[in-house]
Structure 1
Amino acid sequence: MRSTLHVLSVALLSFVVALPLAAKPPIPAAPVAAVAARPPGAAVASAHSLATEAGLDMIRQGGNAFDAAVAVSAVLSVVEPVSSGLGGGGFFLLRDARSGREVFVDARETAPESATPEAYLDAKGDLDRDRAQNGPWSAGIPGLPAALVHIASTYGKLPLSTTLAPAIGIARDGFPVYARLEKGYASRSKVMERYRGTRAVFLADGDAPRVGETLRQPELARTLALIAQKGRDGFYRGDTAKKLLAAVKEEGGRWTAAELAGYRVREREPLRLNYRGWHITTAPPPSSGGVALAEILQTVSGWDLAKLDDAQRTHVLVEAMRRAYRDRTIYLGDPDFVKIPLARLTSPDYAAGLRATIHPEKATPSELLSGQPAPLEDDETTHFSIIDADGNLVSATQTVNLTYGSGMVAPGTGVLLNNEMDDFALKPGTANAFGVMGFEANAPKAGKRMLSSMTPSIMESSDKLTVLGAPGGSRIITEVLLGILGYDAGLSAQQVAALPRIHHQWMPDVISAEAGALDAATVSALQAMGHKVNAGESTWGNLQTVAWDKRANTLEGGTDPRNPVGKADVLVQAQAPR
């Protein structure tokens, strides 16, 4: 496999035009092709074919991209319990075509009042990782159900009874178990089988899920039906809420009815930046993704990446990643609780200062970057991208954090609870399950949202518009970064989704690379610069993207080949005049 940066380099170099050696008569410019006012139809890319089909079905029924998003999100909550669900949360980046307004819907989970830092320490004062990652203490107050209701009522055209119908039917009738579900259950079975609600779902036929078997979730179907009938109150109050509270209490946790009923999504202003003619709209805090993207892209904009060899290009990108992730650790958290120097961190001038600290031929040891004092959702997070015929856009990433979240299903609800509390800095300076750490800015407090890496994004130039995002924990940011660079290099949506991946996150001080992402010569050159390189990691992530070529007026989708059950599809529609 050719290296990631080599693929990008070839594409970038294809745009380099040689200047004439002598003056020649001017050549009349070719007429510029007109750009289409709106797309020729709709495109949906998600991590499961059933979710993609549900989204396109909403379009066929007269819905818009936001209705499709509710359907896709809900179906993923049924067919990807390994990745996301009603017991988790997510971020939804929306663009309304008619008004041009872009909004970031923050449905991140919140900390319950009981979740003090002291509650996660053992008798020796060390972080109790079992409590932080498994069972009720690991779970924040879920946000996804509130997001579905909010998006449907505020931006959609169809009732929840329509948009949730596919998920209700699939939960009731079942779907075929696929390899990732079986493998994920095997890795978490000892934890999951502690809880009677989990056993009732996943051991209903007497043994663990196996590929090809049908997984039915009738209690989850009932919970979804209550949301369809009653909106927020179908989850955060009433019968479902009582069962959630009872389940948490039964297993030793402490939630209150008031904090469950009080959960609300937040609408936030997205982050925006420019890179080489692209206008990029992305995630603000409590996601760290947009800030890190802004730092990295603006830092590397000082180099012509197409003119660097693979080793130099990787070096520059890694050094920019290193600095952005260091700032993530120190400064970022929930903006409702922490004052974040957002303007400074996302400023081109700040990026220029970072750029000046990068030696062109030597790695900067991470320990030399001040970290005073001195932060990964798992790959099992999920993402989907949507565009409709009016030009409405959705880029959404949702999660329960680790594989199968906390491992605990609340009996009578079918709801698998998240374990997002591990994304807080439960003990300052102590790494979480994925080796990232944090300090006071990301410490837990009642009602506070834990820092995330989810980076749903939209990028647009004069002739192209793309929607993209990915799972992968702290590696989400660098997956989206490489996707942006891939589109900038002229790659197709499917080529962008398939790009090999590299990553650096300040600590630990190592370049992570999928097998084949960096060739042997590049690895040797990087090592000579002082980089530590792990060039043989297994694949990660699950990027989903759609793109509209405004000049050709064509749509395309790209789904990550690392995930065999994903699907990107296009629905061409006859358009009525506006």
Structure 2
Amino acid sequence: MGKTADLTAVQKAIIDTLKQEGGRITREDLMNYTAVSNDYALKFTLGNYTFYVPDAPFGGPVLALMLNILEGYNLTNRSVSTIEMKTLTYHRMIEAFRLANAQKSELGDPHYENIAEIVKNMISVGFADNMRSTIKDDTTKQDRYDVKSVCDGHGTTHLSVIAEDGSAVAVTSSINNYFGSGVMSPSTGIIFNDQMCDFSDPKSVINGANKNNLIKPGKRPLSSKSPTIIVDKQSNQVKMVVGGAGGTNITTSTAQVILNYLFFDYNLHKAVEEPRVQVPINVTNVEEVFDEEVAKRLRLKNHTIDNKTEETSIQVVVRQKNEICAASDYRNYGYPAGY
């Protein structure tokens, strides 16, 4: 009885606080809420590795499509060994990111929208092959992709773990913005999130894009969160655990660190610290320390280049032979820990 009474008190505190701030939440909303638990992660294979990523409405299908498109280019350390090769490789990466983000606009909460076929396509090799065939090596199509950008999130955190027994955890949590909605229950100390701004505005639904991410009661909005566990197919051991925090760039940042480490053969710290590119609508953002010559040559391929600070923070743990190594993104003053 004490537990029920406490729960009722917490419910009342939540409802009272949110109503004072203009919210509409009811006791029935809280009573009817059930956490969604997926028994299996999305699974896809890339070279010697098996990837486990979250299903929609999270970033797993988008990450899978990005990497499957790029696998067709047989990326190796040679792909970034010269200015010419690095420019071509980054051009292809940018185009793959844009294509995958365009498909993201078709996603939504699978418990409310019929998107099973869309997700199936996004993790399939054949679909990625078709996407890759539309990429031209001499020019960008950046002006053809108009994907709604959800609000930037700064209240996100990520943790990557490989345990002593070989098990692994990748977890990303978020209240969306700094201090979430900016509303805290004075009696419970709960800071309420701001996830509602991740839903699509009905005005942004053009030709069907974003229609599966419209607000419905109980529905989860789209998210870029991409906690990822990568297993070596030969040893069947966890090779890499990676993910990030920092809004809409989480998926592309995670993809770049994976590419840097597993395909370009960068050491772990370089894989995380290497300057990144991002793909908002109709522009390509690069960090100020990005290779100026590569940026110049990307402009010759019709990319509109803008310098912008990268706010996504990647946390990664890898198995290197018999050692467990970790790196935390200097961009957010993170640090690895061992026990």
Please, what TM-score do these two structures have when normalized by structure 1? 0.53
Cross-structure match for 1:576: none
Alignment coverage as a number of residue pairs: 323
Give, in angstroms, the shift of residue 497 of structure 1: 2.9
1: CA distance, partners of 2:295 / 2:330: 25
- RMSD of aligned Cα (Å): 2.4
1:334-370 CA-to-partner distances (Å, cap 9, x unmatched) read 0001111221222111111011111111111432x59
The 1:483/1:376 distance shift into structure 2, 3 A limit, reads farther
Q: Is the 8 A contact 1:376 1:453 kept in 2?
A: no
Correspondence 1:265 to 2:35: yes
Correspondence 1:364 to 2:136: no
- Helix, strand or coil at the partner of 1:416: coil
Structure 1 runs of 4+ aligned residues shifted over 6 Å read none
2: CA distance, partners of 1:304 / 1:376: 34
1: CA distance, partners of 2:299 / 2:186: 53
Structure 1 gaps, min length 5: 1-228, 432-436, 572-578
Percent identity of paired positions between Structure 1 and Structure 2:
27
2: CA distance, partners of 1:533 / 1:407: 34
Task: From the CA coordinates, give the structure whose radius of gyration is larger.
Answer: 1
Correspondence 1:568 to 2:336: yes
Find the partner of 2:92 among 316, 319, 324.
316
Q: Is the 8 A contact 2:198 2:223 kept in 1?
A: yes
Cross-structure match for 1:155: none
1:209-251 CA-to-partner distances (Å, cap 9, x unmatched) read xxxxxxxxxxxxxxxxxxxx95xx698x322211111111122
Give, in angstroms, the shift of residue 503 of structure 1: 1.1
2: CA distance, partners of 1:376 / 1:246: 27
1: CA distance, partners of 2:103 / 2:143: 12
1: CA distance, partners of 2:193 / 2:266: 36
- Helix, strand or coil at the partner of 1:253: coil
Please, what TM-score do these two structures have when normalized by structure 2? 0.88
Give, in angstroms, the shift of residue 501 of structure 1: 1.6
Give, in angstroms, the shift of residue 391 of structure 1: 2.0
Give, in angstroms, the shift of residue 263 of structure 1: 2.1
Give, in angstroms, the shift of residue 276 of structure 1: 2.3
Question: Which residues of 2 match residues 208-247 of structure 1 at below 5 A?
Answer: 237-247=7-17
Correspondence 1:420 to 2:187: no
Correspondence 1:545 to 2:316: yes
Cross-structure match for 2:82: none
Find the partner of 2:252 among 475, 478, 482.
478
Q: Is the 8 A contact 1:454 1:470 kept in 2?
A: yes
1:409-458 CA-to-partner distances (Å, cap 9, x unmatched) read 12211111111100001333189xxxxx9632000111111111100001
Structure 2 gaps, min length 5: 80-84
1: CA distance, partners of 2:337 / 2:37: 29
- Helix, strand or coil at the partner of 1:483: helix
1:527-565 CA-to-partner distances (Å, cap 9, x unmatched) read 11111111x21231111111223x3x211221111222x
Correspondence 1:516 to 2:272: no
Give, in angstroms, the shift of residue 295 of structure 1: 1.1
Find the partner of 1:439 among 190, 205, 210.
210
Cross-structure match for 2:297: 525
Correspondence 1:557 to 2:331: no
Amino acid at match of 2:230: M
2: CA distance, partners of 1:377 / 1:283: 20
Q: Is the 8 A contact 1:381 1:472 kept in 2?
A: yes
Correspondence 1:400 to 2:180: no
2: CA distance, partners of 1:376 / 1:317: 24
Cross-structure match for 2:279: 504
Question: Which residues of 2 match residues 363-382 of structure 1 at below 5 A?
Answer: 363-367=140-144, 376-382=151-157
- Helix, strand or coil at the partner of 2:313: coil
The 1:298/1:512 distance shift into structure 2, 3 A limit, reads same
Larger relative contact order (CA 8 Å, sep ≥ 6)? 1
- Helix, strand or coil at the partner of 1:281: strand
The 1:555/1:364 distance shift into structure 2, 3 A limit, reads same
Question: Which residues of 2 match residues 81-120 of structure 1 at below 5 A?
Answer: none
